[in-house]
Chain A
Amino acid sequence: MAVATRRTQGLTDKQLHYCPGCTHGIIHRLVAEAIEELGVLEKTVGVCPVGCAVFAYEYFNCDMIEAAHGRAPAVATGVKRVLPESVVFTYQGDGDLAAIGTAETVHVASRGEKITTVFVNNAVYGMTGGQMAPTTLLGQKTTTTPFGRQADVAGFPLRVAELVATIEGAAYITRVAVNTPKNILRAKKAILKAFNVQIQGLGFSLVEVLSTCPTNWGLSPPEALRWLKEKMIPAYPLGEFKAPEGGV
């Protein structure tokens, strides 16, 4: 007998606080596995956001910093500039990264800062109660767009991967989803690649992960996976938007 699956050492034993079916937990596991498999767990410093993942420092089994809302890339920059040999990542949601922290996101990329950002896009503010996010889809109902997001009132969804990919300092920019086992395996490969880009000193790497929020979408977890596939992926196409020439 052999254990075919193993709980990664990159995670602590702490029970995750996320709602049932929230795919944050899958993304946590993928990031933790990637760090462990690359053998860099002991020299990794993670920076967590404000939002649902605010307690991520309790889950990732490495040194962690809790940043102010939107400021994780700036904090990560400070760490990396002091410890260039360390592996530094930020884990941020859509409100944190694409609303209040847009400037930090754009400029960490423009500096080609050698850090990795895991961007969890679930098209809604989770922790504060289901408000509209910068990535909320047109027509999507949230607690602050009760009749659906209308472009003339609330603007358009922001496509972060496409935006950041236009920046010269960005080395690896990709969008993945965690709605099926196949997509989860692809997401894992993307996260591994992003960390490799950092370790090789090639520049800034960002993995946008389409994720679910069953609670605030008002759907059961299986329905949320379907909604991600049917509504989110058409609006946020999966794929690599920028990758180092010659591979990683």
Chain B
Amino acid sequence: MEKVLMKGNEAFGEGAVRAGCRHFFGYPITPQSELPHYLARRLPEVGGVYLQAESEVAAINMVYGAAAAGARVMTSSSSPGISLMQEGISYIACAELPCVVVNIMRGGPGLGNIAASQADYFQAVKGGGHGDYRLPVLAPASVQEVIDLVVTAFDLADKYRNPVMVVGDGILGQMMEPVKLGPPPEVTTPPKPWATTGTLGRKSRNIINSLYIEPEELEKVNLRLQSKYRRMEEEEKRWEEYHATDAEVVIVAFGMVARIAKAVVDKMRKAGIPVGLIRPVTLYPFPDQPLVAGSSGPVKAFLVAEMNAGQMLEDVRLALCGRRPVHFYGRTGGMLTSVAEVEGKVREIWEGLK
């Protein structure tokens, strides 16, 4: 199969086109700019609509309208812009509309900087806006995986009638890698009889809404949402294991840090130290099974490595419930975690186990 060289941010765009997405609404922010640049050129080629909104607030509400009208629709932004979108994401989650939101995370809090970061983990996996809701969150670690997971994101969005977030960082967005495109996947969009398209002969009106003034009614909505999230937790956990089965120290890392961790695993294995990697591909639902399974095997300690002050760390600890010690190594503010730093931490843990 022919390989093409593609930038991560562009791959998000091409993945969306391959998923049948024909509507994109966004607002400029670094470091995700190549994504809208790509779609501004690409969508008109396939009869789609690229629209630059007046703000992220407007963009996410355009997504709400387009999703209500039955379209496969996407927006993208970076951390501060995603914060602005949270109100709209909460409405979309309650109104149960499918859409895909891409967050190319940058250093925070505040205006922060435009360097790579994973500091929006909590915001992504714990809901992010107001109210009790969740979104499936996918974390690709290569440009190829971006292409594939964006298609998955649209399928999950339609399957659950729920917004889905795909998170990357400035490194993934900016780097170029060869990708196999192949023929576009067969897109099967489920029928959307609930969409507000105009009644057009339909007997009953469709209403897209997140207002339930009676507490009894709103509780029912919440219980329905919660059962949907439980179903996601049953069916959608995804992860990658790398030399994890016989490892005594397992690194848990997602996105670009997992790439760094792989280099550490290779180096440690050469040195005769049994280190492995578990890479969550879905951050929500969090893949706790491989951690729990690992803790009943040879694993003596876990190391969570992230580009934040320890966010996924909490989910790893929750998954393990004290079964094994969980260590942490993280850099913040857009600082990259280096192979040498993670290796140093692994050696320290390994020495402590002796």
* A contacts B directly (C-beta below 8 A): yes
A10 to chain B, nearest CB (A): 12
A63 lies within 8 A of B206 (CB):
yes
* Interface 0/1 of A55-78, CB less than 8 Å to B: 101000111111110010011111
Would A82 and B69 be within 8 Å (CB), given that A45-B196, A74-B53 are in contact? yes
Would A86 and B197 be within 8 Å (CB), given that A63-B207, A65-B209, A74-B62 are in contact? yes
Q: List 29 A-B contacts (CB under 8 A).
A: A45-B197, A54-B211, A62-B199, A63-B206, A63-B207, A64-B207, A65-B65, A65-B207, A65-B208, A66-B95, A66-B211, A67-B61, A67-B91, A68-B64, A74-B64, A74-B65, A75-B62, A77-B65, A78-B67, A79-B196, A81-B23, A81-B51, A81-B66, A82-B73, A83-B198, A103-B54, A103-B55, A103-B58, A107-B54
A65 lies within 8 A of B68 (CB):
yes
| B-to-A contact residues, CB < 8 Å | 23, 25, 49, 51, 53-55, 57-59, 61-71, 73, 87-88, 91, 95, 196-201, 205-211
Contacts of B64 in A (CB 8 A): 65, 67-68, 71, 74-75, 78
Contacts of A44 in B (CB 8 A): 198
Q: Is A104 among interface residues, defined by CB-CB distance under 8 A?
A: yes
Q: How far is the CA of A78 from the CA of B197 in the complex (A)?
A: 12
Given contact pairs A65-B65, A78-B68, a sample of 16 additional A-B residue pairs in the complex whose CB atoms are under 8 Å apart: A42-B200, A45-B69, A63-B198, A63-B205, A65-B196, A74-B59, A77-B62, A77-B65, A78-B61, A78-B67, A78-B73, A81-B62, A82-B65, A83-B198, A86-B198, A107-B58
Q: Is A7 among interface residues, defined by CB-CB distance under 8 A?
A: no
* B67 to A, closest residue via Cβ: A78
* A71 to B, closest residue via Cβ: B61
A126 to chain B, nearest CB (A): 16
A107 to chain B, nearest CB (A): 4
Q: Is A43 among interface residues, defined by CB-CB distance under 8 A?
A: yes
Give residues 82-113 of A contacting B (CB, 8 Å). 82-83, 86-87, 103-104, 106-107
Contacts of B211 in A (CB 8 A): 54-55, 66
B57 lies within 8 A of A71 (CB):
yes
Contacts of B208 in A (CB 8 A): 64-66
Q: Which applies to chain A's interface (DSSP): helix, strand, loop or mixed?
A: helix
User: How many chain-A residues does the 8 Å CB contact rule pick out?
Assistant: 34
Would A74 and B196 be within 8 Å (CB), given that A63-B206, A66-B210, A81-B49 are in contact? no
Contacts of A66 in B (CB 8 A): 95, 207-211
Contacts of A67 in B (CB 8 A): 61, 64, 91
Q: Is A47 among interface residues, defined by CB-CB distance under 8 A?
A: yes
Give residues 5-59 of A contacting B (CB, 8 Å). 41-45, 47, 54-55, 57
B88 lies within 8 A of A68 (CB):
yes
Would A61 and B65 be within 8 Å (CB), given that A44-B198, A45-B197, A83-B198 are in contact? no
* B22 to A, closest residue via Cβ: A82
Contacts of B69 in A (CB 8 A): 45, 78-79, 82-83, 86
Q: How far is the CA of A92 from the CA of B300 in the complex (A)?
A: 61
A14 to chain B, nearest CB (A): 11
A167 to chain B, nearest CB (A): 13
* Interface 0/1 of A115-128, CB less than 8 Å to B: 00000000000000
Residue in contact with A42 in the complex, picked from B70, B95, B198, CB distance below 8 Å: B198
* B68 to A, closest residue via Cβ: A65
B68 lies within 8 A of A57 (CB):
no
* A69 to B, closest residue via Cβ: B87
Contacts of B197 in A (CB 8 A): 45, 63, 83, 86
* B25 to A, closest residue via Cβ: A78
